[in-house]
Amino acid sequence: MNIILLGAQGSGKGTLAKRIKADFGLVPISTGDLFRQSIANGQPLGLEAKKYMDRGELVPLDLTLKILTERIKLGDCAKGVILDGFPRSIEQAEALKKVLKIDSVICLELSKEQCMERMLARRICPKCGATYSTLLGDGDTCTKCGVSLVRRDDDNPDAIKTRLEVYEKMTTPLINFYSDRLLKVSADVSPEEVYKPVKDFLSKLGGKK
């Protein structure tokens, strides 16, 4: 089973993906994380992508498809994947049709103001990429690596504004594109409450481990 998580930045797609992975054995793939790993490894693809990421713009389709398809080819994806942050436009969704059959799409709904607030509060571990939030009272070091947390380069007010505008303009049309297999969930509740309808929905689709 392959699923897509839609939802603006800060709506909690990464947290939801972890829960789905634990219950259904699907592998979360975040194109944003793949780009950040590629940057951290000093790879040319990542360094090219960074120019767009730092401005909050979409990375061109050829680079994005390349990094995604290379990841999907790895053996751990056989049972299915959870795409987080891909597709982000109709163009990407059309390209995805040739790569993967998508069974369902879950859209997390959160107001722009709350997305903005959550992104400004987000901190990440520069070593392992784990995400923390000052809104949740998290400290300033990674509990796994012990290193100081940092802000993501693109979690600054200008880039956040652009990213939310890009989401609205380019990504929200996907809600109609996938209307035949879509579950909409309010993200303005606790992670447990977000997950409950998702778990019921996926269990009915027959994806339970």
Interacting residues toward ligand AMP by CB under 6 A: 9, 30-32, 35, 52-53, 56-59, 64, 85-86, 88, 92, 154, 163
Q: Minimal CB distance to ligand AMP: which residue?
A: 32
Known catalytic membership, residue 122: yes
Known catalytic membership, residue 123: no
What ranges in the chain are assigned the alpha helix state H?
Answer: 13-24, 31-40, 44-55, 61-72, 90-97, 112-121, 157-166, 173-177, 191-204
Known catalytic membership, residue 118: no
Known catalytic membership, residue 71: no
Q: Give the shortest CB-127-to-ligand AMP separation in angstroms.
A: 17
Q: Give the shortest CB-112-to-ligand AMP separation in angstroms.
A: 15
Q: Dmax of the chain from CA atoms? A: 45
| CA dihedral of 44, 55, 123, 195, whole degrees rounded to 10 | -90
DSSP 143: T
Q: Which is nearer to ligand AMP, 57 or 188 (CB)?
A: 57
Q: Please state, in angstroms and rounded to a whole number, the distance separating the CA atoms of residues 11 and 192.
A: 14
Q: Which is nearer to ligand AMP, 9 or 207 (CB)?
A: 9
Known catalytic membership, residue 112: no
Which are the catalytic amino acids?
13, 88, 122, 152, 163
